[in-house]
Amino acid sequence: MMENGNGVCAVDIQAVEKVYHSKGRQPVQALKKVSLSIRDNEFFTLLGPSGCGKTTLLRLIAGFEQPTAGEILLFGNRIEGLTPYSRSVNTVFQHYSLFPHMTVADNIGFGLKMLKIDQATRDKTVSEMLSLVHMEDFANRMPHQLSGGQQQRIALARALAPHPKVLLLDEPLSALDLKLRQAMRLELKQLQEKTGITFVFVTHDQEEALAMSDRIAVMSNGEVQQIGTAGDIYDRPSNSFVADFIGETNLIDAEITSQAGAISNCDFPGGTLQAETITGRSVSDKVTLTLRPEKLRLSTAEEPEQGRMMGHVVERVFLGTDTTYLVQISPEVTLQVREQNALPGATRFDVGAKVSVAAADGATRILEG
C-alpha cells in the first residue's frame, strides 16, 4: 500500500506476533497477527486501552524487541537484523529522559555528535531545532531548570535533530496537565507537517487521537480492531469495542423486523429505529445498534413517530458546554442524550420529566461485529 513516489510505505507491519516468555510465568501474547501499513509523511496513531500492546508494537518498530512471527519493513526494507541505531527511527518515550548533566543544547546535539557530524553543522541544527520548538532562549539551561512541558519539547527537539525518517512517540504528553497537553497537541501536529517526518504516535486518549491523526489504528487485546481516519472511526465504527472506546455512544440490542432496500427497521424494547442496511444482516437477525448521544434530541412532543421514542429523564449531568441526560424509554433501554447549553432559551428538563427522544436521520448504525 501507499506509497511515497516509489510505491513504498514508511512502516509495513505484516502479520506480526509477539509472545513474551518469562521464567515461571505463563507466556503473554502481547500481539496477535497485527498487519498495518503506515504511509510516508503520515501522522499515524496507535490507540487503545492499557495493556493492549501499543508500546510492544512501537518497540518492535524501534528494534528494542524482535517479533515472534511476522515481518516489519521500513521503506520496503526488512529490518530484523538492524540495531535500533541503524534504523533511521527515533523514539520519544513517555517520561522525557533528558541527560540531566547536559545543557539543553548538548542534549539536542547529542545524537548528531554520535553520528560524527561536525561542530558547525551541529550548532546550526541545534539552533534550528530550538526555534522549531519555540525555545530559542533556553540553549544553556540545564534540564532541571525547565518545566515539564519545556522538557518535553526539548526531548522532541532531540529526537528530531538527526532528522529520522520515522519518529515513534510513546504517550509523550501523558505527564503534562490538561491545558499544556492541549497546546502541545497542536504543536506536535504542526511539527509533523513542517518536518514531513512520519509520526507513529501512541496514546490511550481518544480525544488526543482524534485531534491529531491522519489515521488511527484502534487496538484491543493485542489485535487491531479498525484502521481509518478520525471521521471513519467515529462515524462508522466497525464493532462495539470501537464504538464504545471512541467517544460516548449508546449500544442497543435490537432485531431487524423489516428491510426496504437500503433501510432496515430495527425494533427494541421502547422503540424502532431505521438504519442503513449492511451486508450479511437480514430480517429477524439480532443486531447491535450504535447511536451517538449528540445525535439525539429531547423535546416535549407527545406522540411517538418514526425515529422518536417516549421516556422520562432519570439523570441529568451538567458539563459546562453540554448537559448529558439519561432517558429511560423502557425497563431494558436507557439512552444517553447530549445537548449543547449554548443556545439561549434551550429547555432544561428535570429529573422525572416526561420527554420524547428523536434520532437524527442517518444517526443510527448497525454494527458489523
Q: Other CB atoms closer than 10 Å to residue 25's CB: what's the count? A: 8
Q: Which does 11 bind (CB under 5 to 8 A by kind): ligand ATP, Mg ion, none?
A: none
Measured from the CB atom, is 53 or 172 closer to ligand ATP? 53
Measured from the CB atom, is 30 or 34 closer to ligand ATP? 30
User: In whole angstroms, how close is the CB of 28 to ligand ATP at the nearest point?
Assistant: 4
Q: Which does 20 bind (CB under 5 to 8 A by kind): ligand ATP, Mg ion, none?
A: ligand ATP
Measured from the CB atom, is 125 or 225 closer to Mg ion? 225
Q: Which does 28 bind (CB under 5 to 8 A by kind): Mg ion, ligand ATP, none?
A: ligand ATP
Q: Which grid coordinates belong to 350?
A: 428535570
Q: Which grid coordinates belong to 165?
A: 525518517
Measured from the CB atom, is 30 or 167 closer to ligand ATP? 30
Q: CA-to-CA distance for 39 and 148, rounded, in angstroms?
A: 31
Measured from the CB atom, is 84 or 162 closer to ligand ATP? 84
Measured from the CB atom, is 75 or 93 closer to ligand ATP? 93
Question: What 3-state DSSP class applies to 161?
Answer: coil
Q: Residue 91 interacts with Mg ion (CB under 5 A)?
A: no
For residue 44, which of 186, 209, 235 has the smallest C-alpha distance? Answer: 209
Q: Which does 53 bind (CB under 5 to 8 A by kind): ligand ATP, Mg ion, none?
A: ligand ATP
User: In whole angstroms, how close is the CB of 224 to ligand ATP at the nearest point?
Assistant: 12
What per-residue string of b and e applies to 1-21 under the rule 16 or more CB within 10 Å gives b? Answer: eeeeeeebbbbbbbebebeee
Backbone angles phi, psi at 77, to 5 degrees: -105, 140
| Residue 239: Cβ-neighbour burial (10 angstroms; 0-12, 13-18, 19+) | middle
User: In whole angstroms, how close is the CB of 260 to ligand ATP at the nearest point?
Assistant: 44
User: In whole angstroms, how close is the CB of 222 to ligand ATP at the nearest point?
Assistant: 7
Q: Which residues bind ligand ATP (CB under 6 A)?
A: 20, 22, 28, 30, 48, 50-56, 204
User: In whole angstroms, how close is the CB of 256 to Mg ion at the nearest point?
Assistant: 40
Q: CA-to-CA distance for 329 and 334, rounded, in angstroms?
A: 6
Q: Residue 125 interacts with Mg ion (CB under 5 A)?
A: no
Number of helical H runs and strand E runs in the chain:
8, 20
Alpha helices in the chain (DSSP H): 54-62, 104-114, 119-132, 148-160, 178-195, 206-212, 230-235, 240-245
Q: Other CB atoms closer than 10 Å to residue 330's CB: what's the count? A: 13
What per-residue string of b and e applies to 257-282 under the rule 16 or more CB within 10 Å gives b? Answer: eeeeeeebbbebebbbbbbebeeebe
User: In whole angstroms, how close is the CB of 282 to ligand ATP at the nearest point?
Assistant: 38
Write the interaction track for Mg ion spanning residues 53-82; mark x where CB under 5 A is met and - where it is not: --x---------------------------
Q: Residue 198 interacts with Mg ion (CB under 5 A)?
A: no
Q: Which residue has the cell 445525535?
A: 295
The residue number with the shortest CB distance to Mg ion is 55
Measured from the CB atom, is 165 or 204 closer to ligand ATP? 204
Q: Which does 56 bind (CB under 5 to 8 A by kind): ligand ATP, Mg ion, none?
A: ligand ATP
User: In whole angstroms, how close is the CB of 181 to Mg ion at the nearest point?
Assistant: 17
Q: Count of residues binding Mg ion (CB under 5 A)?
A: 1
DSSP H or E run through 258? strand 250-260
Q: Which grid coordinates belong to 74?
A: 521500513
User: In whole angstroms, how close is the CB of 263 to ligand ATP at the nearest point?
Assistant: 39
356 with 297: CB under 8 angstroms? no
User: In whole angstroms, how close is the CB of 23 to ligand ATP at the nearest point?
Assistant: 11
185 with 203: CB under 8 angstroms? no
Q: Which does 52 bind (CB under 5 to 8 A by kind): ligand ATP, Mg ion, none?
A: ligand ATP
Q: Which does 336 bind (CB under 5 to 8 A by kind): Mg ion, ligand ATP, none?
A: none
**Which residues of this chain interact with Mg ion, rule CB under 5 A?**
55
